[in-house]
Structure 1
Amino acid sequence: MKPYYWESQHGNFGDDLNLWLWDFLLPGFREVHPDVLLVGVGTVLNRALLPAEGRKLVLGSGFGYGDLPDMRDRSLWDIRCVRGPLTAAKAGVPEDLGVIDPAVLVADMPEFAGQPKRYGCAFVPHWESAVAGLWPVVCAKAGLHYIDPRGEAKAVIREIAQCELIVAESMHGAILADAFRVPWVAVSTSANINSFKWRDWASTVGVEHRPRRIPISTRAEAIIKGARFWGVDYEGTAGAPAAAEGGVAVAGAAPRSGLRLAAKQVLAAPSTLALWQASRAEPQLSADARLCERKARLYGILEEVRRDYL
């Protein structure tokens, strides 16, 4: 059996954790049923992503983009659970199969136990924001620790666990914070942030997705997201390569580069203020009992999978 996950060319810890989480949850799964694809953590129930051929075992995946694959043939699709009730409704399976995102079980791995608190408040942007935004500088100005979602997954997760508070544009930033019992505040920089998948997960742990709006930090970020930046509308450019804004360093160019950075910081001032305000907003955290109940249901499903496949 092979785990399937969406692999970003930039890296994204919420998807990359599939590389090792299933070895902890289902030890030995790689040695059995080579014809089966384990479809796990991620918004991957998408016809354009998953191969049409072959058997799939679905464990906690979500819908949120594109079109669903045809999953009616139960000899090819073994759907044990999905991310939440919204995905269950879209997929045409019973609502009680919308259990929770399996990433919450990362917090039960021994290697993440007893993480010391090293940071006060940190910001985890969406990977698109990290690609083209000025967020490390914005965080420094706002007094927040910056966590790059494109980093090595285990390192990113440890940083999240080591925080007192998380401001999350990355959904898995909030999911992992909640799993480690770190209060979190949801934010959004553009309409590109998928509220469907957030609400799908949030409903499983009994919280609401009520993101605070944070202005986009750079023109390049606006171009990638097809959004507005300082009154200029880049709608229709989403996904397009952003023009380089930093330039190549050459002899004698340091003063000009310094001025350019200073100008960017001025333009990002609304982002800095909004992020600082978000860090002081009332955070959310699911109830212990609700999270434990959902995790117990997921562990029960995993036990059934072990019995049937291993």
Structure 2
Amino acid sequence: MKLYYYRCSQPNFGDELNAWMWPRLLPDMFDDREDEIFLGIGSILFPSFPARSRKIVFGAGYGGYTAAPKLDANWTVYFVRGHHTARALGLPEAKAVGDAAILLRSCLGPAAANKRYQASFIPHWESARDGSWDAVCQVAGIHYIDPRRPVDDVLEQIRASEVVVAEAMHGAIVSDALRVPWVPARPVQGDHRMKWFDWASALEIDLRPHLLPASNLLEAALAAARGDAIRVRRVRRYGQGLRRVLPGYMIERAAARLAQLARAEPCLSSERAICSAHQKMLEHLDALRRDQALRRAA
């Protein structure tokens, strides 16, 4: 069975969790054969997978980046990320259990009591690439977590934080799973926003993301061009010099806002909701192991 996850030009914490977590939970389950495709963490429910391959959905979500896939007998859905995904795929609401990264609770113990960082900020990987968020965090006096760093590094920094301001959705999901309070920052790039509400719906979180300004003019121009692929390509090709326009003003403005968010009332799903989601996922893990053993024996 092939473990599928999105891999962009740079490593991204949320996607790379797949390679970190699943071999620990399902050892000896994966290989490179594409007759079975495992879809775990990420907005990766696309209509473009090979029609004859068996697609195993284990917590993945629909992100709206493409048309929704049409499920047939070659799709086996154990559970999906949230109610938005369930509705988009025509699934029963009971299939909306939560993001599979909640299973990190089975891989890691509780976060350390002694925290090294009073507040941390983890941007979306595109913001880390295009923005100036490391400089913003220096001005704001907030610890910067780069989502492009190795998974172990990011996990350790989240666990060492008293509160995490998260523009990266899996910064919030992992913080919540590991019981680290978090503050949702609405992604600067607008097409990454809907999927937050999908995950939150499964945990009964009343999600109210805070506005976050662009950290430089390049990031602002890219956000304004979203939805127009030609404009985005032009900005990327010709707009790198925008980083040098009004850098002090943009950084100071973003730092002031980020410092506000670090003092905002943080979020945390209820203990009942997170424990229930985790237990259901463990039950689905057992069912998957049994199903795969039966298929191999047949």
Whether TM-score is above 0.5 comes out as: yes
SS of aligned partner of 1:7? coil
Aligned to 1:256: none
Aligned to 2:69: 69
Q: Quick check: which has more Rg, 1 or 2?
A: 1
Does the aligned pair in 2 maintain the 1:226–1:235 contact within 8 Å?
A: no
Aligned to 1:169: 167
Unpaired runs of 5+ residues, structure 2, are 294-298
Which runs of structure 1 show a deviation greater than 6 angstroms over 4 or more consecutive aligned residues? none
Kindly indicate whether residue 269 of structure 2 is the aligned counterpart of residue 286 of structure 1: yes
Unpaired runs of 5+ residues, structure 1, are 229-233, 248-259
1:212-266: per-residue Cα shift (whole Å, max 9, x none)?
A: 11110111112332369xxxxx99733541533399xxxxxxxxxxxx69x4122
SS of aligned partner of 1:57? strand
Farther-moved stretch of structure 1 (297-306 vs 201-210): 201-210
CA distance 1:33–1:94, change in 2 (3 Å): farther
Does the aligned pair in 1 maintain the 2:187–2:193 contact within 8 Å?
A: no
CA distance 1:53–1:131, change in 2 (3 Å): farther
Give the one of 132, 140, 156 matched to 1:134.
132
Kindly indicate whether residue 284 of structure 2 is the aligned counterpart of residue 301 of structure 1: yes
Aligned to 1:13: 13
Identical aligned residues as a percent: 39
Distance 1:114 1:194 in 2: 28
Distance 1:168 1:184 in 2: 7
Distance 2:89 2:229 in 1: 31
Q: Note the C-alpha offset of 1:54.
A: 1.2
Give the one of 221, 240, 265 matched to 1:244.
240
CA distance 1:160–1:235, change in 2 (3 Å): same
Does the aligned pair in 1 maintain the 2:217–2:250 contact within 8 Å?
A: no
Does the aligned pair in 2 maintain the 1:107–1:176 contact within 8 Å?
A: no
Q: Note the C-alpha offset of 1:128.
A: 1.2
Aligned to 1:29: 29
Q: Note the C-alpha offset of 1:103.
A: 0.5
For 1:99-110, list aligned pairs within 5 A. 99-110=97-108
Q: Note the C-alpha offset of 1:55.
A: 1.2
CA distance 1:305–1:160, change in 2 (3 Å): same
Give the number of the structure whose residues are more often helix, by fraction.
2
Distance 1:142 1:94 in 2: 45
CA distance 1:226–1:237, change in 2 (3 Å): farther
Does the aligned pair in 2 maintain the 1:189–1:216 contact within 8 Å?
A: no
User: Which residue identity lines up with residue 203 of structure 1 in the other structure?
Assistant: S
Aligned to 1:155: 153
Aligned to 1:88: 86
CA distance 1:152–1:51, change in 2 (3 Å): farther
CA distance 1:246–1:58, change in 2 (3 Å): same
User: Which residue identity lines up with residue 155 of structure 1 in the other structure?
Assistant: D
CA distance 1:27–1:141, change in 2 (3 Å): same
